[in-house]
Amino acid sequence: MTRRERVRRIRIWLSVVVVGLVVSGITAFPLELETRYLLHAFALATRYVPGAVAWFARVHEGLADTGQRYPFLAYGTDWLAFAHLVIAVAFWGPLRDPVRNVWVVQFGMLACAGVIPLALICGPIRGIPFPWTMLDMSFGVFGLIPLALAYRHIRVLERERDADPDVEPVGPQRAVGATP
C-alpha cells in the first residue's frame, strides 16, 4: 500500500469517527422531540416488541415531565452534546497530521473502551434495561473499530518515518523557528 493510500484510509476512518461524534452531539439536544417521534414510529410495533415500546414510552414520559417541571436538568444533556462536538473538533489534528497527533486517536480508543465499564456500572444503578445497556456499549465497540484501523495505519507511517528520516511528513509542516 502506498503512503498516500495509507493516509487516505486514516482520514476516512477518522472522518467516520468525527461524523459519529457530530451526529451524537446534535441528536443529544432535542431528546424529548426525538423520543416522541420514536414512540410514534414504534407504536405500530407494539405487538412485536412490547418491551421496547414500553421503554421508549417511559423514557419519553420522563423527558417530557422533567422538561415541564425541571427544564434546567436538560442543561446537563446540552453539555453532553457540546462535549461530543468538542471531541469531534479535536480530531482535526490527526486528520491533518496523523503521526504527530496520534495521541488524539489513542485518547479516542481509551474513551471508547471506557464506555463499556461505564454502561455496565451506571446502567443498572440508573435502572436501564440490559438490552439498552448493550446498545450503549456497542457505541464504544463501534467507535473503537475505525479508531483502531486508523491507529494501525498511523503506526506504519511512524515506522516508515523512523526507518527513513527523509520521508516527507504527512501534514503541513512549519520551518524550525517559524512563528505560527
pLDDT value at position 169?
67
SS3 per residue for the chain: CCHHHHHHHHHHHHHHHHHHHHHHHHHCCCHHHHHHHHHHHHHHHCCCCHHHHHHHHHHHHHHHHHHHHCHHHHHHHHHHHHHHHHHHHHCHHHHHCCCCCHHHHHHHHHHHHHHHHHHHHHHHHCCCCHHHHHHHHHHHHHHHHHHHHHHHHHHHHHHHHHHCCCCCCCCCCCCCCCCC
The model scores a pTM over 0.75: yes
As a whole-number percent, the residues of the chain with pLDDT over 90 amount to 78
Compare 22 and 56 and report the one with higher pLDDT. 22
- Over residues 5-45, the pLDDT tens digits come to 999 999 999 999 999 999 999 999 999 999 999 898 888 88
pLDDT value at position 171?
65
Compare 88 and 55 and report the one with higher pLDDT. 88
- Over residues 87-125, the pLDDT tens digits come to 999 999 999 999 999 999 999 999 999 999 999 999 999
Per-residue pLDDT, averaged over 79-94, amounts to 97
Would you say residue 173 has pLDDT above 70?
no
Would you say residue 51 has pLDDT above 90?
no
